[in-house]
Amino acid sequence: MLRFTFATLIACLLAGLVSTLAWSEEQPAWKHDVIVSNPGTRSEGHTGVLTYGDHAILPYFSQLDTPVGRFLYINRRFRWGDAGWVKQEGDVPAPDKLDEAIAPEELERGWYTCEAGKTKPGTPEHWFWTPTFNTWIDPAKIDAYVQDHFGKADWLYVVKQGEGGGVTSSLTYKGTAIPQSVHKILTPIGDFYVPEGQMGPTGWMIFSGEVLDEWPAGENELDDETIGKGLFDESVEMTGVAIPEHWVYLPDKKWWIDPAKIGEHFKDTPMIRPVIHGGRTISKEE
């Protein structure tokens, strides 16, 4: 169903306070709203917000196949253009049925993993598929899934709804924030990156869904100096070493690093986040 808030737009025009307008597309419980900022100007921007019931679907995933379409999450780089949950053209292909039906414990838990393009018979129609983790998820159980997947092994990834349809996010190890100047990191709960652009960074985002579950197990042990520094540069140092299993990988630098010592090697400048206010996009330093 398509709905256009025409009366709201007219009221804003008459008041001289045009700031945002919206339209939405929905199916029972699922809803996709598009918030339009600075309408009718060269800076017109569209921000997609996806909800199930009264629960916002936050970008713990980079792509979703839902009963109301396929969506990609796009970080806002400029005031204009599309960002947030952006609906893709065309219908979502119907998945093939597996022989094995969904188990009662999977229904109760609210998710299961399987091969892409497949589904288990008995999977409720309101569930969504995320290729980021090859998982079918009950949107009503998304909080439990997030806690199970993104809050373990001393790591925690949190995404919160921000202003104007945007989001803010954080990645921590034992309660300490990972500096965004790291830019890209592979951890036991996922691989993350900090998208950057003219609008500035918005926090850590999921990259591809890969998780760190294997560490080099060579015959040579790291020496005491390397352990003390908490950093092993595989691009310039010898191979065949055993990396401690709590260390993480920085692909941009080809570093293995002790997450407890990341702050000794990286420093962050204040984060600049876009804030929608009164029809204008301003910057707020935090």
For residue 150, give the DSSP letter: H
Q: Are residues 60 and 109 in the same domain?
A: no
DSSP character at residue 258 = -
Q: What is the domain count for the chain?
A: 3
Both 197 and 256 in a single domain? yes
Structural domain boundaries enclosing 242: 151-286
What's the pLDDT at 164?
63
Q: What is the mean pLDDT of the chain?
A: 80
pLDDT of residue 79: 74
Q: Are residues 276 and 160 in the same domain?
A: yes
Q: What is the pTM of this model?
A: 0.71
Residue 146 lies in a domain: no
120 lies in a domain?
yes
The segments of the chain whose pLDDT lies below 70 read 1-28, 162-165, 197-201, 237-239, 268-286
What is the token pair recorded at 62?
């980079």
pLDDT of residue 185: 95
Tell which of 107, 141, 175 closes a domain: 141
Asked if the structure places residue 107 within a domain, the reply is: yes
Are residues 284 and 158 located together in one domain of the fold?
A: yes
Residues 164 and 274 in one domain: yes
Q: Give CA angle at 245 (240, 248), nearest 5°.
A: 90
Q: Using an 8 Å Cβ cutoff, are 170 and 158 in contact?
A: yes
